[in-house]
Structure 1
Amino acid sequence: MERLTGPAAFREVLGAFASGITVVAALDGDGRPAGLACQSFASLSLDPPLVLLCVGRSSTSWPRIRAAGRFGVSVLAEEQRAVCEALGRPGDDKFAGLDWEAGPDGAVRIPGALATLDCVPESVHEAGDHHLVTARVLGLAARADGSPLLYFRSHYATGAFG
């Protein structure tokens, strides 16, 4: 196996790890939805229930989400590629034309997602060019069927799990 170095090699090698895609979103101070697509998401602890996500430090959406104090995480289903593309682009009006719903605490959820988690940030650490966020899960729900939208080798993929 050839030993690779540098940022391009790092991206290529880690692209061999398929990851699910989530939407992290909240209502901002003006009552508008703010969100981003996030593939760096994982469970962290069962007791207490904690999740981990990594958000690029250049994100303009993350400061609005963080300021809300609570956010929703929606695990996207394979048929929600358009949602991922909309929330993955830069801009203030990423939710234009998208279905979304707000929980009573300001967490924004994407209808039809495989699962949703309502979270409150516990800690945020700078980690290279990202923020490493740990969050406590306050509520959750899941569909009984469906397959995930995945990202693998710089392309969308689906998993035949349903």
Structure 2
Amino acid sequence: MTAFDPAALREAFGHFPSGVVAVGAEVDGTRVAMVASSFVSVSLDPALVAFCVQNTSTTWPRLEHAAGIGISVLGESHDVAARSLASRTGDRFAHVTTTTTPSGALLVDGASVRLDTTVDQQVPAGDHAIVVLRVNGFEVSGDVEPVLFHRSRFRRFGAFAS
């Protein structure tokens, strides 16, 4: 076993591939979004999903009180958009086309799943918070393949031989 080291543990966690979602809203007329790779479904009744956000995030405080928050499950055509939305500088929306719902939820066009949500609760969890969101509406585009986050890189599914 490796001695506990935060950098080594982060690398170990990165060996688990995950999907990538954009979390966004229109706040005071401005599009605000971030990327999360910790998205998970939580409950069907009530309809809840969750993601984790670092306590040091400067984007989440701008989003957390929005009336509607969009969750867009990014597809493989969004690999450039994922990098853009995750950047700390520059125009995050340079390579992203979005739609805003009447609630203010910001949704990425062409995503495989788009959810219109509201914050249900936030649970402190170490250096992160677990954000639980109530799903108010959704749409699915079943023909969109996902983009994956694995070992600190955005990737696409490869062919799988059965």
Question: What TM-score do the two structures reach when normalised by structure 2?
Answer: 0.91
1:2-151 aligned within 5 A: 2-28=1-27, 30-91=28-89, 93-151=91-149
Identity %: 37
Question: Aligned Cα RMSD in Å?
Answer: 1.7
Partner of 2:148: helix, strand, or coil?
strand
Partner of 1:60: helix, strand, or coil?
coil
Q: Deviations over 1:13-57 (max 9, x none)?
A: 2111100000000011x2111110111110001111100111111
Asked whether the equivalents of residues 80 and 95 of structure 2 are also in contact (C-alpha less than 8 Å), the reply is no
Please list every run of 5 or more consecutive structure 1 residues that lacks an aligned counterpart in the other structure: none
Please list every run of 5 or more consecutive structure 2 residues that lacks an aligned counterpart in the other structure: none
Inter-partner Cα distance in structure 2 for 1:82 and 1:92:
14
Letter of the structure 1 residue corresponding to residue 113 of structure 2: A
Inter-partner Cα distance in structure 2 for 1:92 and 1:78:
22
Q: Deviations over 1:98-147 (max 9, x none)?
A: 21110111000000111101101011122222121001000011112021
Question: Once the 2 structures are TM-superposed, how far is the Cα of residue 91 of structure 1 from its aligned partner?
Answer: 4.4
Question: What TM-score do the two structures reach when normalised by structure 1?
Answer: 0.91
Question: Once the 2 structures are TM-superposed, how far is the Cα of residue 75 of structure 1 from its aligned partner?
Answer: 0.3
